[in-house]
Structure 1
Amino acid sequence: MEKLTYTNVNGYLIPNITYKSGNQMEQLGKYGFLRRDYLKNHRNSTYQVMLLQDTIGEHLLEVDKAAREREEVILKQLEEKEPLPDKEKNQMAWVRAANQHRAIAEEIILKELIYV
């Protein structure tokens, strides 16, 4: 077990706490950061408990990975249901359809995994 050290701030001893999760935060993607922001702003007590237990990094990485995997599945399902136009013949229609699929997938992910 590591020895806890303290810093003197205006006569008060403040513990120096280090987190292992710090390195994991560097690996986070878009959905991990969205989840972190949601927890901070709307579920602050849960966020603080996870931060103090040093489980926040692992949780955010898990959510980010699950969200990216879910995004792939949703995009494949959408493409099967509504195939994208031929990119060579009509590039603007392809971009429009691809952006629409991505927006639908993102909305589903936000409701299922991020804002819960």
Structure 2
Amino acid sequence: MNELKPRIHDEDTGLDYILVGDYYIPAIELPEDDDRPIGKWGRMHQAYLEETNPLLLNHLILTGRLHTYLADLNEQAQERYRIIVQQVMEAEGVTEDLKRRSQWEWIKAMNSIANRAEEVIKSEMINA
């Protein structure tokens, strides 16, 4: 019987495999230079991928790009969220003056703005 090699390389996928017992397991390492957090938006998008597109999720995991992909998406979503909140605050006249005059009105307005901005981000970036 043929002796199995302890390590092989698949040219089609570009992945290396290590022999563990009788099975070859992909030799996957996380990139060490990317220590950015994936954050709330990245975790939400990962859950969306798990439900709707597991093939893409597995591809990102196997190629070692999942963390970078989710961290990039999280940063873009945070910036987009900030811009949306700022624009809606200006459009609806929610200012620091309102905050000084009536804190409860300001809190209600900001909660409404935050909820709407989150829904926009979910529909545009997370569930897309």
Which TM-score bucket, shorter chain as reference? 0.7 to 0.9
What 5-or-longer segments of structure 2 have no aligned partner? 1-15
Q: How many pairs align?
A: 112
Contact 2:48 2:127 survives alignment (8 Å): yes
Q: Given the alignment of the two structures, is residue 48 of structure 1 paired with residue 61 of structure 2, yes or no?
A: no
* Paired position in structure 2 for 1:29: 39
Q: Given the alignment of the two structures, is residue 94 of structure 1 paired with residue 106 of structure 2, yes or no?
A: yes
RMSD of Structure 2 on Structure 1 (CA):
2.3
Contact 2:45 2:126 survives alignment (8 Å): yes
The Cα of 1:53 is off from its aligned counterpart by 1.3
Contact 2:28 2:64 survives alignment (8 Å): no
Q: Given the alignment of the two structures, is residue 59 of structure 1 paired with residue 72 of structure 2, yes or no?
A: no
What 5-or-longer segments of structure 1 have no aligned partner? none
* Paired position in structure 2 for 1:20: 30
The Cα of 1:83 is off from its aligned counterpart by 1.8
Q: Given the alignment of the two structures, is residue 72 of structure 1 paired with residue 85 of structure 2, yes or no?
A: no
The Cα of 1:57 is off from its aligned counterpart by 1.1
Contact 1:22 1:57 survives alignment (8 Å): no
The Cα of 1:5 is off from its aligned counterpart by 3.2
Distance between the aligned counterparts of 1:27 and 1:65, measured in 2?
Answer: 9
Change (3 A) 1:36 1:24: farther
Distance between the aligned counterparts of 1:92 and 1:21, measured in 2?
Answer: 46
Q: TM-score, normalised by structure 1?
A: 0.83
Q: Given the alignment of the two structures, is residue 6 of structure 1 paired with residue 19 of structure 2, yes or no?
A: yes
The structure with the largest alpha-carbon Rg is 2
Contact 2:34 2:68 survives alignment (8 Å): yes
Contact 2:17 2:24 survives alignment (8 Å): no
**Identical counterparts, % of pairs:** 23
Change (3 A) 1:26 1:14: farther
- Matched to 1:29, the amino acid is G
Contact 1:21 1:56 survives alignment (8 Å): no
